[in-house]
C-alpha cells in the first residue's frame, strides 16, 4: 500500500515535470509559470479538466495579446499618447462627434479608405491622426506614423543606398500609414515622386491618414508639379473622408486663456 502510494506520487511528479517540459518546449512561458497556481486552484475549487485547461491557456493567450499589443505600439512610432477620447470636440470645428466615433471604430481600414485632415496649425490634425493610430493599434492593426519630410528623406537615402524597393515594401506593409505634415516643407521633385509611389502602391489596398496645412488646391505648389499632385489626389480622394478643421488654434487658445488669467490676477479685471 505504502509502495503503491509512493509510485503514484512519483508518477504524478514525473507527469508534472513532463507537462512543464512540454510548455517550455512550446515556449508557453507564461502558462508554465502559472501552472503550479492553476493546478492548486483547480484542486482547491474542484475545477473540471476543461476548466483547468481553459484557465491555463487563458494565461498564455492574455500574455501573448499584451506582448503583441506592445510590439505593434512600439512599431507604430506614434509621437504622443493623444487619443480620440482626449479630443475636445467643443474646442474644434470641422469634425463632429458621430464622424469621430465612426473613425474610432477603424471600419474605414476595412475598405482601404483614406482620411485627409486639412487645416491651419494648432487645430488638432496631428492629435486626431495620432488618436486614429492608437485606436488602430488597439484594434490589432499594424500602424506606422511618419512625417512627409521624414518619408521623403528616408526614400532619398534608400535610393542612394540601393534599397529603394525595400523601402517601398516597408511603406506598403502597415494596414494604416499615417503621413503627418504634408505642406510644411516644400518637397523636391524626387520626394514628390517617392510620396506618389508610396500612395500609389497602397491605393485600394490599405489606408493612409494624411495631415496637411494646405488646401488640396495648393498641392501642386507643395509638390512642385501639378501633374504629380493631381495623380496623387486622384488616388487619395477616390475613397476618402476629408476633414477640414478650422477655427482658432487650440495651442493659441491655451495661450489666450493663460494671458487672460494672468491679466485677471495682475489687474483684478475680468477680460470677458
Ligand atoms: P496641428 O497638428 O493641427 O498643428 P496638433 O494636433 O499638434 O495641431 O494640436 C496642438 C496641441 O493642441 C496638441 O497638444 C493637441 O493635443 C492639442 N489640441 C488641439 N486641438 C485639440 C482639441 N480639440 N482637443 C484637445 N486637444 C487639442
Ligand atoms: Mg501637426
Q: What is the pLDDT of residues 174-183, one digit of tens each?
A: 999 999 999 9
Which ligand gives the minimal distance to the CA of 130?
A: 1
CA dist., res. 216 & res. 219, Å (int): 5
**162-217 per-position pLDDT tens digit:** 999 999 999 999 999 999 999 988 888 889 999 999 999 999 999 999 999 999 99
Read off the pLDDT band of 269 (50, 70, 90): low
Q: For residue 5, is pLDDT > 70?
A: no
Ordered domains of the chain (ranges, CATH): 2-76 (no CATH), 89-253 (3.40.50.300)
Write the residue with the smallest CA distance to atom 10 of ligand 1.
122
| Proximal ligand: closest to the CA of 181 | 2
Quick: pLDDT tens for 21-69: 999 999 999 999 999 999 999 999 999 999 999 999 999 999 999 999 9
Lining ligand 1 with CB less than 6 A are 82, 86-88, 91-92, 119, 121-127, 211, 250-251
Q: Structure pTM? A: 0.87
The set of cell numbers assigned to 151 is: 518619408
In this structure, what C-alpha cell is assigned to residue 201? 502602391
Instruction: Yes or no: say if 19 and 12 are a contact pair by the CB < 8 Å rule.
Output: no
Position 158 scores a pLDDT of 96
Q: Which three cell numbers stand for residue 198?
A: 508610396
91 CA distance to ligand 1 middle (Å): 10
Nearest residue by C-alpha to atom 20 in ligand 1: 124
Give the model's pLDDT for residue 49.
Answer: 95
Closest Cα to atom 23 of ligand 1: 88
Amino acid at each position: 500500500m505504502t509502495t503503491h502510494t509512493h509510485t503514484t506520487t512519483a508518477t504524478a511528479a514525473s507527469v508534472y515535470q513532463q507537462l512543464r517540459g512540454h510548455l517550455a518546449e512550446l515556449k508557453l512561458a507564461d502558462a508554465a509559470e502559472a501552472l503550479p497556481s492553476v493546478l492548486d486552484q483547480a484542486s482547491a475549487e474542484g475545477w473540471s479538466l476543461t476548466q483547468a485547461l481553459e484557465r491555463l491557456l487563458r494565461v498564455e493567450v492574455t500574455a501573448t495579446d499584451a506582448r503583441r499589443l506592445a510590439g505593434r505600439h512600439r512599431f507604430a512610432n506614434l509621437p504622443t499618447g493623444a487619443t480620440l477620447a482626449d479630443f475636445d470636440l467643443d474646442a474644434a470645428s470641422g469634425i463632429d462627434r458621430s464622424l469621430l466615433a465612426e473613425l474610432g471604430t477603424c471600419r474605414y481600414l476595412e475598405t482601404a479608405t483614406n482620411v485627409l485632415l486639412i487645416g491651419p496649425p494648432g487645430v488638432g490634425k496631428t492629435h486626431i491622426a495620432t488618436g486614429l493610430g492608437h485606436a488602430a493599434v488597439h484594434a490589432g492593426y499594424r500602424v506606422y506614423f511618419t512625417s512627409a519630410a521624414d518619408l521623403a528623406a528616408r526614400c532619398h537615402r534608400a535610393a542612394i543606398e540601393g534599397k529603394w524597393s525595400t523601402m517601398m515594401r516597408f511603406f506598403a506593409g502597415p494596414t494604416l500609414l499615417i503621413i503627418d505634415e504634408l505642406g510644411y516643407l516644400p518637397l523636391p521633385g524626387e520626394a514628390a515622386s517617392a510620396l506618389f509611389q508610396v500612395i500609389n502602391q497602397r491605393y485600394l489596398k490599405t489606408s493612409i491618414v494624411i495631415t496637411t496645412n494646405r488646401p488640396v488646391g495648393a498641392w501642386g505648389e507643395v509638390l512642385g508639379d501639378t501633374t504629380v499632385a493631381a495623380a496623387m489626389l486622384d488616388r487619395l480622394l477616390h475613397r476618402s473622408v476629408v476633414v477640414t478643421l478650422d477655427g482658432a488654434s487650440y495651442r493659441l487658445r491655451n495661450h489666450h486663456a493663460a494671458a487672460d488669467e494672468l491679466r485677471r490676477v495682475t489687474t483684478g479685471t475680468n477680460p470677458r
